[in-house]
Amino acid sequence: MTASPAPTGPAVEIRDLRMRYGDRDVLRGVELEIQRGECLALLGPNGAGKTTTIEVLEGFRHRSDGHVRVLGEDPATASEAWRARLGIVIQQWRDHGRFRPLELLEHLRRFYDDPRGAAETLELVGLGDQATQPAGKLSGGQRRRLDVAMAILGRPDLLLLDEPTGGFDPAARHDFHELLRRLVSEEEVTVLLTTHDLAEAERLADRIAILVDGRVVRDATAGELAASLGREAEVRWRDERGRHAVRTEDPNRFVRELPIDVEDLEVRRATLEDVYLRTVREDEVTA
């Protein structure tokens, strides 16, 4: 398969993306742009439209309206050569239980011009020891690693990852994060990641977009999102009257003025979780 010329401009460009099912609007004017070599995390509650957005970008689902370009092409009309430049991990994949991981990857390698080695790829995702075990006997986390192996086998320019670490134990999640960082930094792979794990998003993403009710309502770095709540911090402490919590824009001064006999003193500044929860709640109120 002959590769397409490298695109210019953003890796992903979305303008006024809309998706309607019957009389229900799932996507209501999504605006999003991802630069080449950037990792963007797309956050949002269940039903916000994250998976539908991913499916439109993959070309699996045709949009109702809007402008979409992925690696320079419209996914709705893109060629097979374009598809070979994507690596995809969806939430649920048809199981290949009768295959062994090494056999499966060796089979898939034939569809790419310059794929990774099958054994090398399994080692990268931590499945080297399970290379000849039937896929149907892999654990849920191991099966998810095989999904990731299939996604990176063809050396993709763009990885679309829909909750890729579901079922991973902490060690597997850490290894996956290291692999993703290496792909972005060394191979300049562009990544769009959906996740419900806010710590994962903060750890991996250059930018974070929050999708609520079919619209992107926030798009910034994790630090910028936290700063958007202002300098306000919460001071917590305990004394003979019980536990207390006060929000203040000058926590240092507030703490200095507390009696010296307080216990369990804690100053808690705004986090990504605070921004996310407030964003979702504000949208629920205004919807």
How much is the pLDDT for 268? 80
Helix or strand or coil: residue 186? Answer: helix
Q: Please give the Cα distance from 45 to 117 (Å, whole number).
A: 38
Which pLDDT value is given to residue 273?
A: 85
Nearest to 144 by CA among 173, 115, 171: 173
Q: What pLDDT is attached to residue 284? A: 63
19 CA to centre of own chain: 21
What are the residue ranges in the chain where pLDDT is below 50?
A: 1-4
Beta strands in 81-143 (DSSP E): 86-89
CA distances from 14 to 63, 149, 188, 284 (A): 11, 28, 21, 24
Q: Give the pLDDT confidence score for residue 287 in this predicted structure.
A: 54
* Per-residue confidence (pLDDT) for residue 251, from 0 to 100: 83
pLDDT at 220: 94
CB neighbours of residue 254 within 10 Å: 15
| Segment holding 220, helix H or strand E | strand 215-220
